[in-house]
């Protein structure tokens, strides 16, 4: 990454990456908290909003000493000149963003859009499935398919009714919507695969299924459609680290071939994904992630000065030192 926040890396040919000088502001113009851990940020960036396509992601730094993390676009408004991110505070950086990123503040750096845009044309009848946080990134695809003239069936799943968000947005862009909850508090009781089964039973002519969510959920969706030989696309954004293809952390096996989620995807054929290998990779840096979160949490409890907190974060072990070249 250059000093001005711009990126040039092999494999990003499909994207027009936009980064501006360190004097630029990526102002947060709106925020909404869906739960104790899930929150939305709407960020002003007119050029990025114009360039953004469904399925793409951005690289974010919340402050000068912060970590660079990839986040999938949940929405973009070309008229307003904004992009929207929906974030789940589960690790050190996302919990830090939950505290720091408020309306009126700005991100330190924002680069993108990156990744290969989703293919949203050709299918006449499609099912867009989102599980939990995956509801957010599948929304732009559902909207794009609808705008392209497809008959769109939405399936969104949550643990319970308290965690539901964006139901109204999906109803506005879907011809049908199936809501699933694990406890049955709203809609169909059970995982999103129950919604997929209902959709297939009612519409045997479904041409494609898009599924975004936790890896175990995407694997279940792929297995649910396999007997029907319905094309199923999954998004492997959870495994991305660097976002430019240079770190190798997002290597995945697709049909026996090695691909990089950040530059070859993040969308792949769900029936070709080696989910066992994907799950192993996701657990690879669990110890380092826990250590970073513990240290950050300790610094918050100690209420040490910001400068000391920054030094503490900089002192964290580099998780890539142990796997140099890998």
Q: Is the dihedral of CA 203, 207, 212, 218 positive or negative?
A: positive
Q: Under DSSP, is residue 158 helix (H, G, I), strand (E, B) or coil? A: strand
Q: Which pLDDT does position 157 carry in this prediction?
A: 95
> CATH number of 125-235: 3.40.50.80, 3.40.50.300, 3.20.20.140, 3.40.50.10440?
3.40.50.80
- Read off the pLDDT of residues 129-154 as tens digits, 9 standing for 90 and up: 999 999 999 999 999 999 999 999 99
Q: Which pLDDT does position 303 carry in this prediction?
A: 55
Class of the CATH-defined domain 26-114: mainly beta
Whole-structure pTM value? 0.80
Q: List the domain boundaries for the chain.
A: 26-114, 125-235, 286-315
Mean pLDDT by 10 residues, the chain (326 residues): 34 41 71 94 94 92 88 94 93 89 92 88 89 94 94 96 94 96 93 96 94 92 95 84 68 84 83 84 71 74 52 38 32
Under 8 Å between Cβ of 90 and 96: no
Distances (CA, A) of 68 to 64, 138, 144, 233: 10, 23, 29, 27
Owner of token pair 């730094």: 61
- Read off the pLDDT of residues 154-179 as tens digits, 9 standing for 90 and up: 999 999 999 999 999 999 999 999 99
Q: Which pLDDT does position 324 carry in this prediction?
A: 29
Q: Which pLDDT does position 278 carry in this prediction?
A: 79
Under 8 Å between Cβ of 222 and 129: no
Q: How far apart are CA 156 and CA 324, in angstroms?
A: 40
Q: Which pLDDT does position 237 carry in this prediction?
A: 78
Owner of token pair 């092999």: 10
Q: How far apart are CA 296 and CA 310, in angstroms?
A: 9
Whether the ω angle into residue 266 lies within 30 degrees of 0, i.e. cis, is: yes
- Read off the pLDDT of residues 85-133 as tens digits, 9 standing for 90 and up: 999 998 888 998 999 999 999 999 999 898 889 888 777 899 999 999 9
**Which helix (H) or strand (E) element contains residue 195?**
helix 192-202
CA-derived radius of gyration, the chain = 19
Owner of token pair 């360039």: 51
């Amino acid at each position: 990454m250059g000093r001005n926040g711009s990126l040039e890396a092999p494999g990003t040919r499909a994207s027009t990456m936009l980064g501006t000088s360190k004097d630029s502001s990526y102002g947060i113009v709106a925020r909404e908290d869906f739960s104790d851990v899930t929150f939305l940020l709407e960020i002003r960036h007119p050029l990025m909003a114009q360039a953004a396509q469904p399925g793409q992601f951005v690289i974010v730094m919340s402050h000068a000493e912060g970590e660079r993390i990839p986040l999938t676009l949940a929405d973009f408004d070309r008229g307003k000149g904004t992009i929207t991110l929906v974030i789940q505070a589960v690790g050190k950086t996302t919990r830090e963003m939950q505290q720091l990123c408020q309306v009126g503040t700005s991100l330190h750096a924002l680069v993108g859009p990156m990744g290969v845009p989703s293919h949203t044309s050709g299918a006449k009848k499609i099912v867009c499935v989102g599980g939990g946080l995956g509801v957010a990134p599948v929304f732009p695809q559902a909207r794009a398919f609808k705008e392209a003239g497809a008959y769109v069936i939405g399936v969104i799943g949550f643990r319970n009714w308290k965690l539901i968000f964006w139901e109204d947005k999906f109803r506005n862009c879907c011809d049908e919507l199936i809501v699933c909850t694990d406890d049955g508090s709203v809609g169909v009781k059970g995982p999103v695969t129950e919604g997929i089964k209902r959709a297939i039973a009612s519409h045997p002519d479904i041409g494609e299924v898009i599924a975004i969510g936790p890896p175990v959920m995407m694997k279940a969706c792929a297995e649910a459609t396999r007997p029907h030989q319905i094309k199923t696309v999954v998004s492997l954004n959870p495994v991305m680290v660097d976002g430019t293809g240079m770190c190798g952390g997002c290597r995945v096996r697709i049909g026996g071939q090695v691909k990089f989620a950040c530059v070859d995807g993040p969308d792949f054929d769900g029936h070709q994904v080696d989910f066992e290998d994907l799950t192993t990779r996701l657990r690879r840096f669990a110890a380092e992630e826990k250590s970073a979160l513990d240290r950050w949490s300790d610094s918050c409890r100690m209420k040490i000065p910001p400068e000391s907190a920054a030094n503490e974060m900089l002192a964290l072990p580099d998780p890539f030192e142990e796997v140099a070249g890998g």
